Chain A
Amino acid sequence: MKKSRSELGQIIVGVARDPLGLMGLIIVGAIVFCAIFAYWIVPYDPIAMDIKSRLQGPSAAHLLGTDQLGRDTFSRVIAGGQVALKVALPAVFGAMAIGLTLGMIAGYGPKWLDNLLMLFFDTIRSFPTVMFALAVVALIGPSLQTVVFVVMATSIPTYGRVARTQTLTLRNSEFILAERSMGASMARILGVHMLPNIIGVLAVLAAMDIPTVIALEAGLSFLGLGVKPPTPSWGALLKDGYSLIRQTPWLVVGGGLPIILATLGFTFLGESLRDVVDPKLRKQR
């Protein structure tokens, strides 16, 4: 028998076989690649101003033109991707880790703890995200960390609720009873037996959540509540482009296109991932 590939390898191969998944993989790969190697890719310093060559259209020197301060839009798009991932990845994974832990405790633990945690989740969810963001920004000022915090806090309940529902369904299943009757401790049941059953669903949720977070960061930056200028961000680019749309339409394209691409890429990847991580579906493809 051929030595089976590692779990992660199998998943990646599975995603790549699906045309949409492959597309998602390529887009996400390109975004991540650009974000990691942004420093070497950018042709110009993304925050260096050059007033003489402001508001230019695309040319060989400036692939996507320049903005009102003469900064190279292409360089700012690349650097903006780095900022977007810096916000999205820690926020999503942080929220997933905390939500998963709390959700599993709520689902498996005593009823009063479940009620308490659900109350906590519902309280957070009852705030409209943007209003909550406004309040937090007003309190501690706009910065990258503020955005991460806001996104994390508002998406914990989503992960928590999904993890809780999954745990509740699983806790009465016969194989968990079988584990208990084999003397497994609560930590073992949750960590070894429930976690692998839940993590797939949450990973898919996270992959689909990343574009939402990127859009949220762009939205906050668009409102001037996100990352502080002159740090390049897709939202800030869009905001500049919006006010200068009559002079140069290229700024809106530069800010909008990456957001659309990132959203599509992560969504395709998430959907494809959902089909692949389910072992019951895996053998059928």
Chain B
Amino acid sequence: MTDTLLEIDHLSVDYETGRGDLKALRDITFDVNKGEIVGIVGESGCGKSTLISSILRLTAPNTRFREGEIRFKGQDLLQSSERHMRDLRGADISIVFQDPMQTHNPVLTIGQQMLDIQHRSKQSKADKLAHAAKMLGAVGIPDPEARLKQYPHEFSGGMRQRIAIAMALMSEPDLLIADEPTTALDATLEVQIIERLQELQREFHCAILFISHHLGVIAELCDRVVVMYAGAVVESGEVREIFHNPKHPYTRRLIECDPGHIKERARVLPTIPGEVPDLANLPGGCIFRDRCDQAMARCATQVPPLDQLKKGHHAACWLNHEEVTT
């Protein structure tokens, strides 16, 4: 279980824009082991989507990989040929997108689409259809054979997301990227999808990289969690450790702001005041400094390194450096 599947090693990604380079990702480092569920959490614009499109190498044309490596099974994806990437996508790495209403081709039946994504397989059409029906059954779509003949608009949002998960798992990938798969769904469906993902993960033994800004879901589903802020990793570690003993003020505030954690009735929901800094024009020192209630003089001048505090628990904050806090 300790085999590393995906290693992201000091990855820095820029977007070239008219205002100068937007530093979307800076020095991202974390691993995903085989069969493990890793959550990535962070507010909008913190680089979660850039990270997953970088892993799949489906980035916008103005993307520049400045530094670092993305190693999948030991091979650097940033150096791989386009052909090799295409062979990986959908076979070894697959993805479930955020909005289930948009992820299916509206003019093809679900069956046609599920047949099509098996284009690598040499099986007969009947076998492929049987496989498709089996996968639909596995994600809990009743009467799958008949449902294969229907169009996407004949399914509800929750069903479509389950179909998307079925399609992503069809090739039994080693890594499933789930890009906020429950954000567009309501709370009851969210629980359904999460439970389904857990079951399927046990069945298929794939690793899942689960992107979300819903801490409750992360806590429920993931083994480890990576907290991102403004294009950098601020804290990472075991889910338990992060939630019970956060070592970065951002993580702490994020947990405090989660409505699920609020015990008392409050007039105003807690928020983290301030905004994410301008990524094209980064200030020196700690990126969270302006919004941090424990900022010190040192935070303005020096960037805190992502240090290992305990085995597997990393955080980037000067507060954890005792010689300064005391």
Contact = CB atoms under 8 A, between A and B. Distances in A.
Contacts of B103: 174-175, 178
B56 A1 contact: no
Interface string B147-161: 001010110000000
A283 interface: yes
A257 to B, nearest CB: 39
Given A4-B149, A197-B107, A280-B153, A181 B116 contact: no
A115 to B, nearest CB: 16
Interface stretch (B85-93, B192-200, B230-238, B277-285): B85-93
B154 A183 contact: no
B1 interface: no
A279 B105 contact: no
A180 B146 contact: no
A188 interface: yes
B95 interface: yes
Given A178-B95, A181-B90, A200-B107, A192 B116 contact: yes
Give the contact-size bracket for chain B.
20 to 34
A195 to B, nearest CB: 9
A126 interface: no
A230 interface: no
B95 A183 contact: no
Contact of B97 (A177, A185, A283): A177
B105 A177 contact: no
Nearest to B177: A181
A281 B164 CA distance: 23
A173 B308 CA distance: 41
B102 interface: yes
A193 B108 contact: yes
A9 interface: no
B151 A184 contact: no
A11 B286 CA distance: 63
Interface of B is mostly: loop
A182 B105 contact: no
Question: Which of B94, B97, B107, B117 has the most C-beta atoms of chain A within 10 angstroms of its own C-beta?
Answer: B107
A180 B91 contact: no
Nearest to B152: A175
A181 B56 contact: yes
A128 interface: no
Interface residues of A, number: 23
B90 A174 contact: no
A181 B149 contact: no
A148 to B, nearest CB: 31
A168 B117 CA distance: 23
A197 B153 CA distance: 14
Contacts of A188: 116, 119
Nearest to A181: B95
Contacts of A283: 153-154
A143 B90 CA distance: 54
B26 interface: no
Contact of B146 (A1, A179, A196, A200): A1
A178 B102 CA distance: 9
Interface in A163-209: 173-175, 177-185, 188, 192-193, 196-197, 200
A178 B97 contact: yes
B165 to A, nearest CB: 12
Contacts of A178: 95, 97, 103-104, 164
In the complex, the 5 A-B pairs of residues with the closest C-beta atoms, listed nearest first: A182-B90, A183-B90, A183-B89, A174-B102, A196-B107
7 contacts: A4-B149, A175-B106, A178-B103, A179-B117, A180-B89, A181-B95, A197-B106
